Each structure stands twice: as structure tokens, then as C-alpha cells.
């Protein structure tokens, strides 16, 4: 085999960068590999804190920034622009491997470019389920990718149901658990100082638009905010993702600006967010962080609506419809929920497993011509 191998990581959001960072680090530290980072999506938007600067601060090699959208673009336009930009980049540097994560359009663009240019493509955290268009994207990325690095055996089983080869699926755990279990997190006092938070006790709010329920979005966010305000709790609110409908949520959050019970942030460094979540009284919203990261820390979650439908059921999670009284009551009863920590998405060694797989010669002989494998 020829070394070093050029490995391109595609990152489009603050969340996927936080998860990819441990994997990128082990690649950069080994001379057998040459790291490249394609930075796009929300990273490049000032409205979301221009988080490409956080990628640059991490001091990774060969960072390429590409603006793939403006705030008003639909997901189909973003996908098209992402494919165009990444295709030109891939043809220029001729990588040996493209790594994408999750279920955003940037991941779909990366897998499409890899498949159509015969470039080996690896997908991180496929095989998950949820209740939105994200699931369609995630499974499409699976079918376009050649290798799969999944969080657990349940995810692996779903990939096999999708016709993937067991030899191309690797259970490594979720990379963010590596960060959560490490000594890399800042202290909670440092987090509060950096973001000027003076709450002793607080809840964390992350609420994303659901593209298949846009007609109800205004009503849903109004119901949520009324319940939060009535609860008289303190809240740290993080901006939603940039899916269609996010402007409705932004406008609703304007009413929180002068409310001393709320602090609203466009974005937050991943490690700082994790420590903030670790010390939270509870989390509320429809973010995957509520059903993945929060339970790992033993933090109860009030999960709203169907965005995380079928993802996971745990004693620390309360599933609630968009009913103001039920949301309010769930907040009042949050003390009764389990605070037992759960570890169903890995043990904190995913980057080590990922690195060892890429060191093996078998990985680099992964078939690029895919065949559907029927279940016996």
C-alpha cells in the first residue's frame, strides 16, 4: 500500500465537528496519514457564530473552507452547492478516503461525491433511527458509503437490514463519548466564566425545526416558551440547526432577550457545552443530545414531539407531546426522574478502534462496487 493515505473529513455543524475531532486527532498524529478538513455548512454562517474559527483553533492541517449556503437556502439547494464545492475539492487533492458523519446534507454530499468519483467513503454513526427527514438522509448516506463506523450492535443490525456487508461495518462506539469520558472538558466554573453565566441551577434548551411539521412549528415553539417562562426556572438556550423553519424559532427567541431567567447563545464550543450539560438540572427540547449525551451524564431529559422518535427509551427520558400543561408538569416533576448514568453508545475508545481499523490493510481493500446482501 502507498502511504501516507489522504483522509478528508467533511464537517458542516458544531455538533459533528465535536464528534469527529477525536478521530481527526489520531489521524493527524500518525505519519501514515495526511489529514484534510473540508469545513462548510453552519460553520461558515455568522448567525451561528462562524464556528469555522473553532475548527481553525484546533490546529488541524489542511483546512479548506467552503460557503455552501445562505440563510434562506432550502436543503435541496444546500445539497447541490455542497456537492459542487466538494467535488471540485476532491478532484483537486485526490483523497484516498472521505469521512462523513451522521445525517446532515453535508454528509449526503460527501457520500455522493465519494460514490460517484470512486473514492472510498466511510460513514460515522449510521444505522440510527429518528422521526424526521434526518432518517431518510442517514440511510441514504449508508447506501452511498463503502464503510460504516457505528455506535453499537443495534445500529450495525440495521445496516445489515439495509443490505450492507457485515465485513464493512465496524462497531466503534460514538466518538463524542471519548470526549465526555476524557479529561479534556473544562471546569464548570471556566464554562460559566467564558459565557458569563451566573445561574446556579439551570435547564438546557435545544429545539430544532422539524421540516415535515413546519405548519405546526409556530404553535409548537409558542407552547414550549410559555411553559418554560411559567416554570420560573433558569435556562441556557442554544440556537437550533439551520434547517428550514429555524427563522421562526429565532423570532420566537427574541422575546427572551430581556428575560433574566434566560441566556441565549448562537453556538457553544463542544467541550464547553458538554460540561454545561453535565452540570444541568435537566435538558428539554428535541435534540439528539437529550437522548444520547444527557443520559450518559445521568441528566434527565424532557423530549418533545417526534424528532427523536424510536431513537432510544431510557428511565431518564420523559417523552411529551406539545401540550403546555404536560410540558410544565414534566418540568415540575423532573426531580422524580432517574439520574442513573447509561452507556449504550460506547465506552470512550472509539477513536482508538477507528485508528486501528484504518491501520489495517484489509480496510483499504474494501470493495467500492457495492452489492445488496439479502438477509438469510
My answer on whether 60 and 95 are in the same domain is yes
User: In terms of C-beta density within 10 A (0-12 exposed, 13-18 middle, 19 or more buried), how is residue 56 classed?
Assistant: middle
| Averaged pLDDT for residues 127-153 | 94
DSSP per residue, 34-79: EEEEEE-GGGG-GGGT-THHHHHHTT-SSEEE-----TT--HHHHH
Q: Are residues 167 and 275 in the same domain?
A: no
Same domain, 38 and 94: yes
**pLDDT classification of 325: cutoffs 50, 70, 90:** very high
Is residue 171 situated within a structural domain? yes
Q: Which of 39-43, 71-75, 87-91, 352-356 has the lowest mean pLDDT?
A: 71-75
Strands (E), the chain: 5-11, 33-39, 63-65, 97-101, 121-124, 147-150, 169-171, 203-206, 235-238, 262-265, 282-285, 301-304, 317-320
Assess contact for 41 and 69: CB atoms under 8 A.
Answer: yes
Residues 328 and 224 placed together within one structural domain of the fold: yes
Pair 236, 140 in one domain: no
96 part of a folded domain: yes
The answer on 229 and 154 residing in a single domain is no
The answer, yes or no, to whether residue 131 has pLDDT greater than 80, is no
- Specify whether 283 is located in the same domain as 172: no
Mean pLDDT lowest for which of 171-175, 204-208, 338-342?
A: 338-342
Please give the average per-residue pLDDT across 220-248, as a whole number: 96
The reported pLDDT for the residue numbered 1 is 67
Co-location of 204 and 57 in the same domain = no
Q: Reply yes or no on whether the pLDDT at 25 is more than 80.
A: yes
CB atoms within 10 A of CB 166: 10
Task: Tell me which of 308 and 237 has the higher pLDDT.
Answer: 237
Kindly report the CATH number assigned to the domain that includes residue 154.
3.40.50.2000
What is the Cα Rg of the chain in Å?
20
pLDDT of 323 over the 90 cut = yes
Residue 194 in this model has a pLDDT that exceeds 80: yes
Please give the Cα distance from 125 to 123 (Å, whole number): 7
In this structure, the answer to whether residues 122 and 58 fall within a common structural domain is yes
pLDDT tens by residue, 257-283: 999 999 999 999 999 999 999 999 999
Question: Same domain, yes or no, for 135 and 163?
Answer: yes
38 close to 93: Cβ distance less than 8 angstroms: no
Distance CA 335, CA 312 (A): 21
Arithmetic mean of pLDDT, 20-24? 97
Categorize the per-residue pLDDT at 71 as very low, low, confident or very high, splitting at 50, 70 and 90. Answer: confident
CA distance linking residue 192 with residue 256, whole number of Å: 19
The reported pLDDT for the residue numbered 152 is 95
Average pLDDT of the chain? 95
Q: What is the pLDDT, as a whole number, of residue 337?
A: 87
> Is residue 306 helix, strand or coil?
coil
**Domain count within the chain:** 2
- In this prediction, residues 89-93 reach a mean pLDDT of 97
Residue 315, domain member (yes or no) = yes
Q: Are residues 49 and 166 in the same domain?
A: yes
What's the CA gap between 327 and 177, in Å, rounded?
A: 29
Mean pLDDT confidence for 163-178: 97
pLDDT of residue 138: 97
Distance CA 217, CA 151 (A): 31
Answer whether residue 183 is part of any domain: no
Label residue 178 by pLDDT band (50, 70, 90).
very high
For 100-129, how does the pLDDT look when each residue is reduced to its tens digit (9 = 90+)? 999 999 999 999 999 999 999 999 999 999
Is 372 within the bounds of a domain? no
Q: Does residue 24 belong to any structural domain of this protein?
A: yes
Intra-chain end-to-end CA distance of the chain, in Å: 35
Higher pLDDT, 237 or 340: 237
String of DSSP letters for 147-172? EEEESSHHHHHHHHHTT--GGGEEE-
Does residue 358 lie within any of the structural domains? yes
Domain match, 14 and 158 both: yes
Residue 120 lies in a domain: yes
Mean pLDDT computed over 223-247: 95
Residue pair 206/238 in contact (Cβ under 8 Å)? The answer is yes
pLDDT at position 376 is 79
pTM of the model: 0.93
| Rounded CA separation 264/196 (Å) | 11
CA 40 to CA 341: how far, in whole Å? 34
Residue 205 belongs to domain spanning: 188-336
Spatial distance between the Cα atoms of 140 and 102, rounded to a whole number of angstroms: 11
**Model confidence pLDDT, tens digit, residues 212-226:** 899 999 999 999 999
User: Band of the pLDDT at 306, cuts 50, 70, 90?
Assistant: confident
CA distance 326 to 337: 15
Amino acid at each position: 500500500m502507498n502511504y501516507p493515505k489522504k483522509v478528508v473529513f467533511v464537517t458542516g455543524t458544531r455538533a459533528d465537528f465535536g464528534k469527529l475531532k477525536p478521530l481527526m486527532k489520531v489521524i493527524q498524529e500518525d505519519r501514515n496519514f495526511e489529514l484534510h478538513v473540508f469545513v462548510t455548512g453552519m460553520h461558515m454562517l455568522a448567525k451561528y457564530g462562524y464556528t469555522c474559527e473553532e475548527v481553525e483553533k484546533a490546529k488541524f492541517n489542511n483546512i479548506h473552507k467552503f460557503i455552501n449556503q445562505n440563510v434562506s437556502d432550502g436543503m435541496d439547494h444546500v445539497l447541490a452547492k455542497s456537492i459542487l464545492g466538494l467535488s471540485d475539492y476532491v478532484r483537486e487533492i485526490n483523497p484516498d478516503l472521505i469521512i462523513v458523519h451522521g445525517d446532515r446534507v453535508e454528509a449526503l454530499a460527501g457520500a455522493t461525491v465519494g460514490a460517484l468519483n470512486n473514492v472510498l467513503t466511510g460513514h460515522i454513526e449510521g444505522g440510527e433511527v429518528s422521526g424526521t427527514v434526518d432518517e431518510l438522509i442517514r440511510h441514504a448516506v449508508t447506501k452511498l458509503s463503502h464503510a460504516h463506523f457505528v455506535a453499537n450492535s443495534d445500529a450495525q443490525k440495521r445496516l445489515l437490514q439495509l443490505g450492507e456487508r457485515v465485513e464493512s461495518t465496524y462497531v466503534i462506539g460514538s466518538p463524542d463519548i471519548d470526549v465526555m469520558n476524557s479529561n479534556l472538558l473544562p471546569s464548570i466554573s471556566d464554562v460559566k466564566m467564558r459565557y458569563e453565566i451566573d445561574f446556579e441551577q439551570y435547564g438546557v434548551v435545544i429545539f430544532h425545526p422539524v421540516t415535515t411539521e413546519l405548519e405546526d412549528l409556530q404553535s409548537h415553539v409558542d407552547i414550549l416558551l410559555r411553559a418554560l417562562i411559567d416554570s420560573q426556572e433558569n435556562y441556557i438556550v442554544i440556537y437550533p440547526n439551520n434547517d428550514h423553519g429555524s427563522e421562526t424559532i429565532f423570532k420566537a427567541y427574541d422575546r427572551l432577550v430581556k428575560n433574566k431567567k434566560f441566556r441565549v447563545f448562537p453556538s457553544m464550543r463542544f467541550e464547553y457545552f458538554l460540561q454545561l450539560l453535565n452540570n444541568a438540572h435537566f435538558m428539554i427540547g428535541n435534540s439528539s443530545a437529550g437522548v444520547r449525551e444527557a443520559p450518559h451524564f445521568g441528566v434527565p431529559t424532557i423530549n418533545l414531539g417526534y424528532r427523536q422518535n424510536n431513537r432510544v427509551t431510557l428511565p431518564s427520558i420523559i417523552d411529551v407531546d406539545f401540550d403546555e400543561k404536560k410540558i410544565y408538569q414534566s418540568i415540575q416533576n423532573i426531580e422524580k426522574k432517574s439520574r442513573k448514568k447509561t452507556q449504550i453508545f460506547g465506552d470512550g475508545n472509539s477513536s482508538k478502534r477507528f485508528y486501528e481499523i484504518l491501520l489495517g490493510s484489509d480496510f483499504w481493500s474494501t470493495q467500492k462496487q457495492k452489492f445488496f446482501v439479502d438477509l438469510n
